[in-house]
Chains A and B, each alone.
Chain A
């Protein structure tokens, strides 16, 4: 089944403890993105990647890192999480030349 998967789905952590949220897609899509969704603010793009080893900042990149070493994986790294990074995170992917994005199921993160 064509899909975008994220792990973990739920995570509670403490301020300053490094964490990684994994994202994987099996559709051979070139583009992958990370978004965060907060009440009243909609979905905001954090980082995106146009292909392997090519990444760029979205609208709200501060406090986040990404890497794209393989086409199918696009992990989101929080080196030193803070409470303002408590949010619902979505990974998405799409084919180059298509405007249709496929979203993962989401990761709900709580930073204490």
Chain B
């Protein structure tokens, strides 16, 4: 299972773009990169998943370089409600469970 490393915490302001980088040096060929968001006392919520290059949905973008040893979650124009813990996971295709690390605690200020 590829280990992930991401910052413990980040601060930003409303309206800014926030980029959270995750490193996963030991990622395997059939692993996907997945990001979840968790608000206090709620279950994690899937945000985005990618294998390589760039993926964009209505919530975020995910940038993955060619070597796949890192990835960057980009949140455009954040608001106070984006304050949450963001988890980067490397998931083996078809895996039965998810291993969550400590995540990045993102705090958005007015």
Contact = CB atoms under 8 A, between A and B. Distances in A.
Interface of A: 4, 31, 33, 35, 40, 42-43, 45, 48, 50, 56, 58-59, 88, 90, 92, 97, 99-106, 108
B94 A90 contact: no
A49 to B, nearest CB: 9
Given A40-B102, A42-B100, A106-B43, 20 more contacts: A4-B43, A31-B96, A35-B97, A42-B102, A42-B103, A43-B44, A43-B98, A43-B100, A45-B96, A50-B96, A58-B96, A92-B98, A97-B94, A99-B93, A101-B44, A101-B46, A103-B44, A106-B41, A106-B42, A108-B41
A31 B96 CA distance: 8
B97 A58 contact: yes
The binding surface of chain A is classed by DSSP as: strand
A47 B102 CA distance: 21
Interface of B: 32, 34, 41-46, 49, 91, 93-103
A67 to B, nearest CB: 17
The binding surface of chain B is classed by DSSP as: loop
Contacts of B43: 4, 90, 92, 103-106
B28 to A, nearest CB: 14
Nearest to A99: B91
A104 B45 CA distance: 9
A99 B102 contact: no
Contact of A105 (B42, B46, B97, B100): B42
A48 B102 CA distance: 22
Nearest to A46: B97
Contacts of B45: 103
Contacts of A108: 41
A58 to B, nearest CB: 6
Contacts of A97: 94
